[in-house]
Amino acid sequence: MTSKEIIAAFEQGAKSNRQDRWRAGNVIRLEGPGEVVMTGDLHGHERNFYKLVRFSNLMANPNRHLIIHELIHCSKTDQTGQCHSYNLVAQAALLKADFPDQVHYLLGNHAMAQITNDEVIKSGQPMVRALNAGLEASFGSNAPLVSQALNDFLLSLPIAAVTDNHIWMSHSLPSLKNLEKFDNNIFDDELTMNDMRSNDSLRALIWDRLHNEECLDRLSEMWDSNMFIVGHQPQGQGHSRSYGRLIILACDHNHGCFLPFELKRKYKSDELFQCIKPLAGVE
């Protein structure tokens, strides 16, 4: 894409994010009938992204929702130390513009780091620096304009999705130590750059790990959700389950997995876990 084309893609995607018919504040609230295809971190993995798009087949399935997150920052940079995952983010922005009420892109910690220009390390690489270097190499003097459009798109992302069959989806979850001071207003108020830099509740939702059973019990009561699906934590086999109700997915490698489920069905924990599919099985 040229700088003009990629800026237009980010602008279209941001507009669609803000006008999503299912969005209430910063949360996507999905009702049936229909289906959800929930994913894990993609981190620039284009092949798996397009597998998810093909599986979802949104044109033929208008009641199906594809939920994606953490596309930015490749697991490995190229030989020059550059990351070009902004191209995949732009493709996702265009997909959002094409299917504004079926594609839902959630905020992740690497997206937050890119917005605030706070360095984050992945596979030993400084990812914000690598992506900025990729922008400069590709767009030259127009790189700052592309970077600003990218940041505006990322700032427009919702931060969670929840279904009427009580399944919660977000990039991560606040840990127990941060629940006492957790402010649920982050789900209602428009997020600002200042929130990205210093809102402790937002950072807990996006960055925290180490979720124990007490934490999940309290979150279930707080958010009226029986089960949680997240990413954020590396999964060598593409998925894991903790305490019966927390499922962690990863889509950024050859063993990546995703989880399709129905919006009207009441799932038991084992039933939902059994819905997980390997991306290797998608043509």
pLDDT at 77: 76
Residues in CB range of 98: below 8 A, 6 or more apart: none
pLDDT at 90: 98
Q: How far apart are CA 180 and CA 99, in angstroms?
A: 38
pLDDT at 127: 96
Q: For 192-214, how does the pLDDT look when each residue is reduced to its tens digit (9 = 90+)? A: 999 999 999 999 999 999 999 99
pLDDT at 2: 97
Looking at the whole model, is its pTM more than 0.85?
yes
Q: β-strand 23-24 against 27-30: which pairing, if any?
A: antiparallel
H helices of the chain, in order, are 3-19, 46-56, 86-98, 109-116, 127-139, 143-155, 193-198, 200-207, 213-223, 269-273
Any idea of the CA torsion for 154, 156, 160, 162, to the nearest 10 degrees?
A: -140
First to last CA, the chain: 26
Q: Which segments in the chain show pLDDT lower than 70?
A: none
pLDDT at 78: 75
Q: Per DSSP, what are the bridge partners of residue 35?
A: 64, 262
pLDDT at 268: 94
pLDDT at 189: 87
Domains and CATH numbers, the chain: 3-281 (3.60.21.10)
